[in-house]
Copies of this chain bind each other. A is one copy, B any other.
Amino acid sequence: MNLPKPILALINSFERLPGIGPKTAQRLAFYLLRVPSEDIAEFSHNLAKLKSDTKLCSICKNVDEVDPCNICTNSLRDPTKIIVTSSPLDVYAFEKVGFKGKYHVLHGVINPLDNIGPDELYINELIKRLTDQIADSADVKGQTVPIELILATNTSMEGEATAMYIAKVIKDRGYKEDEIRVTRIARGLPVGGDIEYADDVTLSRALEGRLKF
């Protein structure tokens, strides 16, 4: 195709985004041709600023405008509840439902097919963080509350493998019962779900995870 170079370049940029194929990329580029220049300039500016104006929190690896992030420095939040997620987007999903603890973002899941092993994720940083936090709280007099590590990776195969790996590493480290408690988010029927249409694995999990009513 003999498209003008500026349009082709933009189509290529759009095509690299996940879920955007050649046809959609074309449609977006040609759509933008009809958009006022100021709006495009703003879009371009927002893209350019995305990385320069955000930082990775050195504690929880979440993305924020400041380091450490606003969640880590918020003293009103419970430091003994840490949700482990695979992406920063998941942090905001838990924020929306009102979780008031802290987070740790792995930035991925273990996926041997994509050559992503534990060392490519922020798992070592998580262990170090937990060790430091336990050491700090040991200095404080009085009884200490165990840290609850809530593994909230996806319930996909990779997400489960990642959760299992983290649980194993923590077990192997031999923390005491009153130091760390590892939990996993419940797997079961989504609210509004039909038992008839639930898959076998989900139904087994829902049964295993049943709670007193």
Contacts and interface: CB of A to CB of B under 8 A. Distances in A.
Interface of A: 1-7, 9-10, 12-13, 16-19, 24, 26-35, 37, 39-51, 53-54, 63-65, 70, 87-89, 92, 95-96, 107
Given A28-B18, A47-B47, A54-B33, A6 B65 contact: yes
Q: How many copies of the shown chain assemble into the complex?
A: 2
B44 A5 contact: no
A112 B143 CA distance: 73
Given A4-B64, A63-B4, A92-B3, A41 B50 contact: no
A46 B89 contact: no
Given A6-B49, A7-B63, A63-B7, A18 B43 contact: no
A40 B138 CA distance: 45
Contact of A48 (B16, B26, B44): B44
